[in-house]
Structure 1
């Protein structure tokens, strides 16, 4: 049985509030999610706290996962990512500056967010630097358009145009 299939089965049991399945799901997935959080937050203690918050949300909201819409693993990653972004907003801190982004590594490390990481890396590589960084910070790190405009020191309209055009270029590239 594949790892993803086992996670799907455990998640189906967690939806039924089966505590032993939740414990096994935690044991099976927590190290990977913790790694994601360390990458996002850059702080092991904060990552551990956010991981616990994420699993609380997973337990409380398991019924919201719709298995007909996809596997459980991306859903778990999304809940964890959103929990981390909520925490970052709460403490008004972001993990990286624009200069620190290695976009190839970010996409490899976050490939649960991008269905085909090879194609996404290839297509992102075709974008100009500013739209590429804006898209990565927006979709991986959850910065708002306003926060991005401040980071890039650009007008909000310019930032929105970069993202809109960049996303259209990505869509065209990925559809090719």
Structure 2
């Protein structure tokens, strides 16, 4: 497919996405995901974080497609700009989280609890091996019992992203504890 034909297909798909046409959104994704993922990877080299940022970008594309104005620019440039902004927002969010994580990440269990339950020592050790944002969200969700809405508010991140952090963090914890 030539570049011009590809751009026309992207324009047509986005026009249908504006009408909330799900199959067109899937087509738009198929047409653009590899290129947009490459764009995100230039800003966020970590593949897991880049995937999260791209997922959030597509969510925004679905929600805000009607904001694209063809008279102001091509669909492709609009998609690139929205995706780029989402990736930059993710970098800023991560920086804010890292600034607060050093002082806010508690141990899941105190030393006195750990002496009563030796497996808590292993859990605390393994918690230190996962990313700060995963560690923070897991502790707040499972130790403090924070609800989804509380987590969204505290970490200023979409619920889907928080769930991904928890899922990946728990997988890494399981691998560490089984090692």
The TM-score, its normalising length taken from structure 1, stands at 0.51
Cα distance in structure 1, aligned partners of 2:72 and 2:38: 25
Aligned partner of 1:82 in structure 2 is: 85
Structure 2: tracts of 5 or more residues without a match: 97-179
Number of residues of Structure 1 aligned to a counterpart in Structure 2? 93
1:31 counterpart = 2:23: no
1:45-92: per-residue Cα shift (whole Å, max 9, x none)? 111110100000000000000011121000000010010111111111
Alignment of 1:42-57 (within 5 A): 42-57=45-60
Structure 1: tracts of 5 or more residues without a match: 94-176
Q: Which is greater in Rg?
A: 2
- 2:16 aligns to what SS in structure 1? helix
Alignment of 1:1-176 (within 5 A): 2-92=5-95
- 2:71 aligns to what SS in structure 1? helix
The TM-score, its normalising length taken from structure 2, stands at 0.50
Cα distance in structure 2, aligned partners of 1:20 and 1:32: 20
Cα distance in structure 2, aligned partners of 1:68 and 1:17: 21
